[in-house]
Structure 1
């Protein structure tokens, strides 16, 4: 069995980088994000994608629908395994406020050992996203699947494939509307592209 996964971070909302969106409801793409989705759709049309799965967050669903439309695919399937990290009451707070929280500081030093207020470690997150990828790989051969998710989840999947510790997350970027390509087969898994941004 072989599957190619296009791990796509959702396009930008208006306040990306200013606060922790997390699982806050009602955060949709901004004007810049909608332009990013158009470029993503054009970029992914040539990849012969068979299916699209998305996190349940509005910004990921909007990104996934735009890609599906551009690629002539049916509507994306929502999967909880792709949902944003459960940040609990951190969601919606500015990074300025969060930086005064000792638990937030500890989370960013050792995510492998620290739980968010929502109860997750990054190892929990890694288990759920890679579990979904393994399940989708087992369904059929030569599948080409887009997974629209969030930066931390994509970092967790990439770290697993590369054999990096989960706390290596600051060593590489996953930009809004970026594409990271991973291939999984009976022989193992490898990263083909990382943080590809379509300009």
Structure 2
């Protein structure tokens, strides 16, 4: 049976605006406003789930969703790099950052490698495709959405860093029997005002 998984990236929060690895900071007021404005453009008739991060849960709430928790969609675990900026890390640990960005199996931060993330998210996706089908609306962190695309399309894990996921966009995967199709990055926007 076919399953449609619609992955929504969260509104920007304090960490994303500061270009830091997420430290479970809340959405700021601007991010909450943007999510509320986008609520009307959500596709209907889907079961909602949300990743455990605070920004995903708060985005789901601002979108008017009442999602079930989805622990398998937790963000890439960056270990001791959590809360720090990539610029700061590149200055202090240039070899570790270079290895992490070049090798999908590297985890110099003591957290999860990109390969591990892709396998975890891929297992979640494949579990859905083997189920009874339906539509799922999932609010998930950008790294999780990139990992889902890499897995679904059988892309080399090295392309993970070349996939951009903008805030409040919808990436749609449709799958059945181990085969996935991808529709990329539709923005969630407030409806245009009626003319007249």
- TM-score category by the smaller chain? 0.7 to 0.9
Secondary structure of the equivalent of 2:149? helix
The CA deviation string for residues 120-175 of structure 1, in whole angstroms up to 9 with x for no partner, is 1111111111211222233323x110111111111111112222211112333101
2:186 aligns to what?
196
State the distance in 1 between where 2:178 and 2:140 align.
Answer: 26
State the distance in 2 between where 1:17 and 1:164 align.
Answer: 29
| 2:43 maps to 1:52 | no
Contact 1:48 1:144 survives alignment (8 Å): no
Instruction: Tell me the CA shift for residue 65 of structure 1.
Output: 2.1
Instruction: Tell me the CA shift for residue 17 of structure 1.
Output: 4.7
Structure 2 residue runs of 5 or longer lacking an equivalent are: 190-196
| 2:36 maps to 1:61 | no
Q: Which has the larger radius of gyration?
A: 2
State the distance in 2 between where 1:53 and 1:104 align.
Answer: 32
| 2:112 maps to 1:120 | yes
Instruction: Tell me the CA shift for residue 187 of structure 1.
Output: 6.4
For normalisation by structure 1, the TM-score amounts to: 0.85
Contact 1:53 1:77 survives alignment (8 Å): yes
Number of residue equivalences:
187
In the TM superposition, structure 1's runs of 4+ consecutive aligned residues that sit over 2 Å from their partners are 17-22, 47-50, 116-119, 136-139, 169-172
